[in-house]
Amino acid sequence: MIEAELVLTDPPYGIDYKAGDSSQRGIQNFERVEGDNKPFDPEPLLRFDDVICWGANHYAKRLPETEGQLYCWDKVCQNGMKVRIAECEYAWHRKGTKPRVFRHLWSGAYRASESGERSLHPTQKPVALMSWCLRIAGDVKTVVDPYMGSGTTLVACKRACVRVVGIEVNESYCEKAANRLRQGVLPFAG
């Protein structure tokens, strides 16, 4: 078993999500998310002391009732803006002390961060969101993301100088994560 102080992840929710059709203008055609065609079971993650797991509203009945808090990511942040995606997403935090909201525009081309960058995964999260989660988790030295997708959690950890282990079954997404991590310069620790 991997030793980590925090599991920070965005697993397949079990909703059989289908990304946009590439024949539509401006829509990317992504590979299917492995494992998203069956209900997600968070039980293996619950063996860790601290877990922040996105998509919790899709498998809430499988989470412990007496532990943790929900976080909400408000993706719209603008009055009257029409979106084709969910306006918010929820995470469950095992060691959470109170509900929290992260307000960060992220709807197609309208983004508060990473503007102009192409998405690499159909359910990609902003690095700013995972960085926010790291700050909430406090002083952690090692993070595991067992569903790393395109590596957003890994990028946030790299920027925060936190050791991270990423696991992904899709080789294409592993390559995309490696390319994201290859970009930029590591801070000098001296």
State the pTM of this model: 0.83
Per-residue HEC secondary structure of 23-35 comes to CCCCCCCCCCCCC
| Identity at 162, one-letter amino acid code | V
pLDDT reported for residue 77: 67
Q: How confident is the model at residue 122 (pLDDT cuts 50, 70, 90)?
A: low
Backbone angles phi, psi at 110, to 5 degrees: -90, 105
Handedness of CA 62, 66, 68, 69 (dihedral sign): positive
Band the pLDDT of 138: cuts 50, 70, 90.
very high
DSSP string of 2-49, one letter each residue: ---SEEEE----SS---PPPTTSTT---PPPPTTTTS----GGGGGSS
Q: Which domains does the chain have, with CATH numbers?
A: 6-182 (3.40.50.150)
Alpha-carbon span 145 to 166, nearest angstrom: 5
> Cα–Cα–Cα angle for 13, 15, 19, nearest 5°?
100
Q: What is the CA radius of gyration of the chain?
A: 16
Q: Does the pLDDT of residue 24 top 50, yes or no?
A: no
